[in-house]
Amino acid sequence: MKKFFNITIFFGTIFFLFSGMVYAQEIHGIRESMDWEGRYMGTLPCASCPGIVTILTLNEGGSYTLTETYLGNKGGTFHSNGKFIWDKAGMCITLLPSTKEDKRS
């Protein structure tokens, strides 16, 4: 019985600590609680090609650069840049391109 009680206290304490950490991030948002500036890379699904290699670079000053490369025979690379803004909660960003047209290479 004592062993069960100790395990319950242990996991209860761990749960309490982690729930406090998540709560703190929800209050402050990602903008204040993380180092978000940097380079993000990944391959997005594509209906007509094997994938789209996407590279997004976020700068501390609120600017971004986005490069999208379509894989396969109909491949092409698209570049865009501009500013980004945070939502009120500091959890999501919205990209605001500097031009309405994509720069193709």
Q: What is the pTM of this model?
A: 0.64
Residue (of 27, 77, 88) closest to 49 by Cα position: 77
How, if at all, do strands 63-70 and 93-97 pair? Answer: unpaired
pLDDT tens per residue across all 105 residues of the chain: 444 444 555 555 555 555 554 444 455 566 566 678 899 999 999 888 899 999 999 998 899 999 999 998 666 899 999 999 988 888 888 999 887 665 544
- DSSP conformation class of 21: H
